[in-house]
Amino acid sequence: MSAGGPGGEAVTAETANQIDAKGIGIGLIGIYIAGISGIPYLAFLAGIGAIFATKMGADAVRRVCSYGIGTGVPSIGMLALGMGLISAMFGLAIGKMLGVVFIGPIVGLVLALVIGFVVGTLANKIIKLNIPVMERCLMEIAGAGVLVLTGLSVMIAGSMDFVVISKLVIETGYIAPVFILGALGILHPFNASLGPDETQDRTMVHALSCGAIAMVIGGVCSIAVIGPIAGIISTIIGLAIWYVTFMGFIKLVKRDAGAGYVGTGLLPPGAM
**Least distance to another protein, CB of residue 97, Å:** 5
Please list, in sequence order, all residues whose beta carbon lies within 8 angstroms of the beta carbon of residue 154, skipping any fewer than 6 positions away. Answer: 31, 34, 35, 43, 46, 160, 165
Measured from the CB atom, is 33 or 103 closer to another protein? Answer: 103
- CA–CA distance, 157 with 224 (Å, rounded to integer): 10
Measured from the CB atom, is 10 or 138 closer to another protein? Answer: 138
Q: Does residue 147 contact residue 53 with C-beta atoms inside 8 Å?
A: yes
Torsion (CA) 271, 198, 109, 224 in degrees, nearest 10: -110
- CA–CA distance, 165 with 221 (Å, rounded to integer): 13
DSSP state of 3: -
> Of 164, 195, 208, 179, which is closest to residue 56 (Cα–Cα)?
208
Contacts with another protein by CB under 8 A lie at 1-2, 69-72, 74-76, 78-79, 81-83, 85-87, 89-90, 93-94, 96-99, 111, 115, 118-119, 122-123, 126-129, 162-163, 165-167, 170-171, 173, 175, 179, 272
> Of 107, 121, 143, 184, which is closest to residue 23 (Cα–Cα)?
143
Measured from the CB atom, is 82 or 227 closer to another protein? Answer: 82
Measured from the CB atom, is 45 or 133 closer to another protein? Answer: 133
Work out the widest C-alpha separation in the chain, in whole angstroms: 62
**Least distance to another protein, CB of residue 2, Å:** 8
**Least distance to another protein, CB of residue 156, Å:** 14
**Least distance to another protein, CB of residue 236, Å:** 29
Measured from the CB atom, is 163 or 236 closer to another protein? Answer: 163
**Least distance to another protein, CB of residue 180, Å:** 10
